[in-house]
Structure formats: structure tokens, C-alpha cells
């Protein structure tokens, strides 16, 4: 079937094209009406979920050091694995809305300081126990404990009081937070029986699949949880995650049909892979971004003219084209893009302007000695090349950059958050508030640009408790502008998740929240035999 015919059949089957338009375009491609009807009928059938089978993902980002403890999940494989056996109170949909999972209903008081979550009744864990409000409290409490080393500590710290009565969980916050339901969709906050206190890495949850084999860094095998509450997902009988860290082997496994989907397709081979029959490449715009960060409190970066000069002397489009192979979008020196709810798209895009950069550089009074930019191959994929491109575009503005390549070993302990100017990356967060609170609030642990701005902090706290979306959007827009014009963040690009799947996989959807449909690809997709 020609590519174009294939494309219109798919669009028509998804209801994105009317039947009349489809028939017209199909006949323009020389397809008879009978043939076109048959094609459409089979395509529509393919869009209906099919039950059964063994669905397999081949994943990079797993090591034999991984654990099933949701608090410690950080890399790609534990994320996908946990999202396959675990269930949180809520999920965030691709459109940025709340998808109610273990919580059936959420409500708050007027200043967003007290939240009530109604827990879905009769939901069963893999071990036969029932999900209760007490389990939810125990889970959240465990993540508050410093010893749990939870990645969600920053989220649960803001909860000052939690209580359960009947099927209702009440959370009181120290200060209002309108985003709390979104934060409860954080992938660390999987609800475990008794909070998983006794054995957090047991892998018992209320998710659609239960773990039958767990060999970290090699393979995680699941079978469907027979009593799963939501009949509309979990189509395959069994699902499996194979850890294949080598790029070539992962791609070969997909081509050979040994796995049905893979993550992290190397941008260099995307064009080649597109030509392979039976395989499609999916680039999903997400919230992750690659950055260069300056410490606003250390010379010479304590001078806003110098910071502005550097921001103006980076060629963003060139970075997207050469570093991301076109699979991404340009950044605008604040960590938010259109993938976030309440994003203000009217903020003007900063462009490469060597003349203006030179002006700011002159105004900064910098002595002309080379400015050291530290980078490492592991800072982000292509970080060394990106630093070199930056060096050249800055040289055109008369700004001397010296690229210093550091070893990957110890980069996150000895360079990042220590040296005043270096390359780094951020994975993005479900909502703006969380991103800003994690890294741009004056008092944040990970304030890696040492950005301290009272007005910004005040706006952040105000927006957090604001339930009126219009006002909130305005406040976020102001914050974005402050950060863009005064912050220490140079954000040249947002990277897409680049993934690939086989054509027999049905139910695939783009999800900006996270890799592989926010970790639910194995749960929501099915196999068209």
C-alpha cells in the first residue's frame, strides 16, 4: 500500500477524516470504491482493542542495580515497569487533564489548602487485599520519610496533615496548592498495601498487570491482574519488558519482531528506520529540555548583561537541527513549553542575534578572558557537540567561550550544581508549579542556577494557591518573563521522545507527559494479530 493511501486510511479510521473525503481521496489515488471500502473496514477493525497475546517492549535505561521500590525509580525501565504494575490516585491525560484512577473524586476548599480524595471502592491488589484510604495515607507517609529517599519527597513535604475516614482521604497543606491532584499523579506515588513500609520493593500494587518475573537489568515479565477494576485497558494477556541498552541491538530486535516497541531511538538513524517495512517512528514532543546553566551569584555570571549576551549568542535552531536531528523544538530560556497546561504562547521567541549579544557583552564590562563552559558526553546526548556549537556562535558575537570536557564519572557530583557554568538536562514535570518549585524557587535544593528573585518567589506561591485558571496563567506568564530576561538558564531546546513501534501495535497515542505513553504503553496498547 502506498504511503499516502496508508496515511488516509489511518486518519479515516481514527475519525480524523470524513468517509466522503476518504472515498474521494482514495479514488484520486486510483483505488476502486469497493477496495476503498474494504480497506476502511479493516482499518476500523484494527482500531478496536484486541484482547490477548504477549506484548513486549525493548527498553534502554535499565540496569541490574534497579529495584521495584517506586520511591527510588529514576531511569526509564523502572519507570515503565512501575507504571505497568502500579496504580496511583490519578493519572494525567495527554491533554493535561486528570484521569481518575484509585481516587474517584477530588475536591478542595476555596484556598486550595485542604483536599479530599474519595477512594474507589472494591479495588483489589495483586495479593487479594483491598485498596483502602489507610493504604493511601501510609504510602504518602512513607514517601515523607527522609530514609525512603523518595523522588517525590519534594511533593509530599508540603502536606502538613493527612487523615483517612471511611473511603475519604483528607490532605491539609501548609500553603495552598491548586495543582495537588496533578502532583498525586507523580510516578513515585504508587499506592502500595500498608504503604509498602515492610517491603517497598515487593512489587505488589493495584495496577493492571502483576509481576511474575523480575530480573533487574534483564527482563521483567507480567501477566494480567485478573481482578483489575478497569476493563477498558490491559488488553494483552502477558506483557514483558526486555532491557536492551545497546542501540543497534534494540533496533534490530524491533525489526526482527522480537519486541513490539522500543524507546530512545537514536536521532541519527530515524531517517533510516522510517524506511523499514512494518516499523513506524514516533516523535513525541515532551517537556524534557537540554540546558546550559549559569550561577547567578558567581562572577562573571552575576552580571545580567553578560547572562543576556550569552542567551543571545546561542543559535537555537541550529542546535535543534544538529543535536536533535530536527526532533525537538527551540527553547526560550524558561523551562516551560506548550506541553504544559497554562502555557503562554504569546511570549516572544528569543533569536540568535550576535550584534545585540555583542552590545550586552560590552555593557557587562567583562575583561575578555575566556568564559569556561563545562560539559560531558553524559550531560545530555550530544552535550559536547552542543557546547562546541555554542562556542562558535558566541565567537561570532565576539564572546570567548572555552569548552572544557569533563568525564561523565562524577559529573553530577563535582560539576553540576558546583561549577558556575555547565551543560545539564531536565526531564520536565507534570505542571509548571512543580518545575519552578523544583529548580527556580530561591530556596529550592536543586536551584542549579542560584536564581534568587523575591518577586518571582512571591508570584510562584500566589499562583500555586490560585484556583482561577485565567489569573494563574497570567502569573505564570509573568514568571516566565522574569526568568527569561533575568534568570541563569539558557534553554536552547526541548527534546522529543523518539520511539518506534511495529505496525501490529494498536492503541498507540502521543503523550507529552512521559516516555512510551507516559509509561502506560504496555497497558493501553494491544496486538493486532
Neighbours of 29 (CB within 10 A): 12
Closest CA to 101 of 172, 160, 187, 159: 187
CA 80 – CA 55 distance, rounded (Å): 13
244 binds another protein (CB under 8 A): yes
* Nearer to another protein (CB atom), residue 259 or residue 336: 259
- The cell numbers describing 65, all together, are 542495580
Do residues 102 and 123 touch, judged by C-beta distance below 8 A? Answer: yes
Return all residues near 437 (Cβ < 8 A) that are at least 6 apart. 154, 444, 460, 464
440 binds another protein (CB under 8 A): no
In the complex, least distance from residue 421 CB atom to another protein, rounded to whole angstroms: 17
In the complex, least distance from residue 160 CB atom to another protein, rounded to whole angstroms: 20
* Nearer to another protein (CB atom), residue 229 or residue 446: 446
Selected binder of another protein within 112, 259, 376, 516 (CB under 8 A): 259
279 binds another protein (CB under 8 A): no
CA 293 – CA 373 distance, rounded (Å): 9
* Nearer to another protein (CB atom), residue 312 or residue 439: 439
Per the listing, cell 541490574 goes with: 64
Total number of residues that touch another protein (CB under 8 A): 40
Interface segment toward another protein; rule CB under 8 A; list 18-26, 347-355, 407-415, 494-502 = 407-415
291 binds another protein (CB under 8 A): no
7: enclosing H helix or E strand: helix 3-13
CA 323 – CA 77 distance, rounded (Å): 24
Selected binder of another protein within 44, 137, 218, 384 (CB under 8 A): 218
Selected binder of another protein within 110, 345, 413, 443 (CB under 8 A): 413
Return all residues near 476 (Cβ < 8 A) that are at least 6 apart. 336, 342, 343, 344, 432, 463
Integer angstrom CA distances of residue 217 from 66, 78, 220, 252: 7, 10, 9, 19
410 binds another protein (CB under 8 A): yes
SS3 content of the chain, % helix, strand, coil (to 5): 35, 20, 45
In the complex, least distance from residue 443 CB atom to another protein, rounded to whole angstroms: 12
* Nearer to another protein (CB atom), residue 138 or residue 379: 379
446 binds another protein (CB under 8 A): yes
* Nearer to another protein (CB atom), residue 64 or residue 232: 64
3-state secondary structure of 513: coil
Interface segment toward another protein; rule CB under 8 A; list 106-114, 225-233, 241-249, 513-521 = 241-249
Interface segment toward another protein; rule CB under 8 A; list 82-90, 183-191, 306-314, 406-414 = 406-414
Do residues 387 and 421 touch, judged by C-beta distance below 8 A? Answer: no
278 binds another protein (CB under 8 A): no
Selected binder of another protein within 229, 343, 412, 508 (CB under 8 A): 412
252 binds another protein (CB under 8 A): yes
* Nearer to another protein (CB atom), residue 265 or residue 342: 265
16 binds another protein (CB under 8 A): no
Selected binder of another protein within 71, 162, 239, 243 (CB under 8 A): 243
Range 19-58, binding another protein (CB under 8 A): 58
232 binds another protein (CB under 8 A): no
Integer angstrom CA distances of residue 140 from 81, 83, 160, 183, 450: 20, 17, 11, 12, 30
Rg over alpha carbons for the chain, rounded to the nearest Å, is 24
- The cell numbers describing 35, all together, are 477496495
* Nearer to another protein (CB atom), residue 96 or residue 151: 151
110 binds another protein (CB under 8 A): no
Integer angstrom CA distances of residue 80 from 5, 151, 187, 262, 269: 34, 16, 9, 12, 24
- The cell numbers describing 103, all together, are 481516587
Backbone angles phi, psi at 284, to 5 degrees: -115, 120
Selected binder of another protein within 30, 34, 146, 470 (CB under 8 A): 146
In the complex, least distance from residue 97 CB atom to another protein, rounded to whole angstroms: 28
Selected binder of another protein within 414, 455, 458, 503 (CB under 8 A): 414
Closest CA to 133 of 115, 117, 148: 117
In the complex, least distance from residue 245 CB atom to another protein, rounded to whole angstroms: 7
Range 419-438, binding another protein (CB under 8 A): 424
* Nearer to another protein (CB atom), residue 253 or residue 517: 253
**Contact pattern from residue 53 through residue 82 relative to another protein, giving x for each residue in contact according to CB under 8 A and a dash for the rest:** -----x----xxxxx------x--------
94 binds another protein (CB under 8 A): no
* Nearer to another protein (CB atom), residue 20 or residue 147: 147
CA 267 – CA 386 distance, rounded (Å): 15
455 binds another protein (CB under 8 A): no
Integer angstrom CA distances of residue 443 from 174, 176, 437, 447, 454: 16, 18, 9, 7, 11
Do residues 254 and 262 touch, judged by C-beta distance below 8 A? Answer: yes
In the complex, least distance from residue 249 CB atom to another protein, rounded to whole angstroms: 5
503 binds another protein (CB under 8 A): no
- The cell numbers describing 501, all together, are 513501534
Range 166-205, binding another protein (CB under 8 A): 201
CA 30 – CA 21 distance, rounded (Å): 14
The footprint of another protein (CB under 8 A) covers 58, 63-67, 74, 146-147, 149, 151, 201, 213, 215-219, 242-246, 248-249, 252-253, 255-256, 258-259, 409-410, 412-414, 416, 424, 445-446
Amino acid at each position: 500500500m502506498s504511503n499516502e493511501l496508508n496515511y488516509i486510511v489511518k486518519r479515516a479510521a481514527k475519525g480524523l477524516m470524513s468517509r466522503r473525503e476518504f472515498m474521494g481521496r482514495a479514488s484520486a489515488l486510483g483505488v476502486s470504491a469497493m477496495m476503498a471500502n474494504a480497506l476502511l473496514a479493516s482499518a476500523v477493525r484494527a482500531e478496536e482493542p484486541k484482547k490477548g497475546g504477549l506484548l513486549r517492549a525493548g527498553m534502554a535505561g535499565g540496569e541490574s542495580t534497579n529495584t521495584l521500590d517506586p520511591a527510588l525509580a529514576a531511569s526509564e525501565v523502572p519507570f515503565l515497569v512501575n507504571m505497568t504494575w502500579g496504580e496511583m490516585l490519578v493519572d494525567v491525560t495527554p491533554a493535561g487533564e486528570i484521569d481518575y484512577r484509585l481516587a474517584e473524586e477530588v475536591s478542595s476548599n476555596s484556598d486550595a489548602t485542604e483536599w479530599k480524595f474519595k477512594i474507589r471502592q472494591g479495588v483489589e491488589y495483586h495479593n487479594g487485599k483491598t485498596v483502602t484510604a489507610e493504604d493511601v495515607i501510609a504510602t504518602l507517609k512513607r514517601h515523607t520519610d527522609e530514609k525512603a529517599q523518595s523522588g517525590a519527597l519534594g511533593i509530599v513535604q508540603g502536606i502538613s496533615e493527612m487523615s483517612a475516614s471511611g473511603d475519604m482521604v483528607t490532605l491539609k497543606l501548609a500553603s495552598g496548592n491548586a495543582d495537588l491532584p496533578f502532583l498525586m499523579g507523580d510516578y513515585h506515588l504508587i499506592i502500595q498495601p500498608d504503604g509498602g513500609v515492610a517491603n517497598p520493593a515487593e512489587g505488589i500494587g493495584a495496577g493492571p498487570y502483576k509481576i511474575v518475573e523480575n530480573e533487574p537489568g534483564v527482563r521483567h515479565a507480567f501477566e494480567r491482574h485478573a481482578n483489575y477494576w478497569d476493563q477498558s485497558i490491559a488488553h494483552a494477556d502477558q506483557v514483558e519488558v526486555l532491557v536492551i541498552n545497546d542501540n543497534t541491538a534494540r533496533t534490530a530486535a524491533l525489526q526482527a519482531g522480537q519486541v513490539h516497541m522500543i524507546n530512545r531511538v537514536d536521532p541519527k538513524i530515524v531517517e533510516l528506520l522510517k524506511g523499514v517495512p512494518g516499523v513506524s517512528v514516533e516523535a513525541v514532543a515532551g517537556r524534557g529540555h537540554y540546558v546550559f546553566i549559569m550561577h547567578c551569584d558567581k562572577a562573571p555570571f552575576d552580571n545580567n548583561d553578560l547572562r543576556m549576551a550569552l542567551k543571545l549568542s546561542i543559535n537555537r535552531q541550529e542546535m535543534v537541527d544538529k543535536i536533535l536531528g530536527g526532533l525537538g523544538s527551540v527553547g526560550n530560556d524558561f523551562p516551560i513549553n506548550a506541553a504544559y497546561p497554562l502555557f503562554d504562547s504569546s511570549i516572544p521567541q528569543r533569536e540568535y542575534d550576535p550584534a545585540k549579544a555583542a552590545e550586552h557583552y560590552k555593557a557587562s564590562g567583562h575583561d575578555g578572558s575566556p568564559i569556561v563552559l563545562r560539559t560531558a558526553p553524559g550531560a545530555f546526548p550530544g552535550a559536547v557537540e552542543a557546547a562546541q556549537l555554542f562556542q562558535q556562535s558566541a565567537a561570532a558575537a565576539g564572546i570567548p567561550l572555552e569548552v572544557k570536557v569533563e568525564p561523565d564519572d562524577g559529573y553530577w557530583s563535582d560539576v553540576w550544581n558546583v561549577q558556575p557554568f555547565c551543560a545539564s538536562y531536565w526531564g520536565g514535570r507534570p505542571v509548571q508549579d512543580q518545575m519552578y518549585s523544583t529548580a527556580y524557587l530561591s530556596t529550592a535544593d536543586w536551584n542549579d542556577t542560584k536564581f534568587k528573585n523575591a518577586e518571582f518567589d512571591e508570584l510562584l506561591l500566589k499562583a500555586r494557591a490560585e484556583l482561577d485558571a485565567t489569573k494563574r496563567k497570567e502569573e505564570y506568564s509573568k514568571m516566565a518573563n522574569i526568568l527569561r530576561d533575568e534568570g541563569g538558564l539558557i534553554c536552547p531546546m526541548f527534546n522529543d521522545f523518539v520511539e518506534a513501534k511495529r505496525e501490529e501495535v494498536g492503541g498507540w497515542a502521543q503523550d507529552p507527559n512521559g516516555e512510551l505513553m507516559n509509561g502506560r504503553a504496555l497497558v493501553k496498547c494491544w496486538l493486532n494479530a
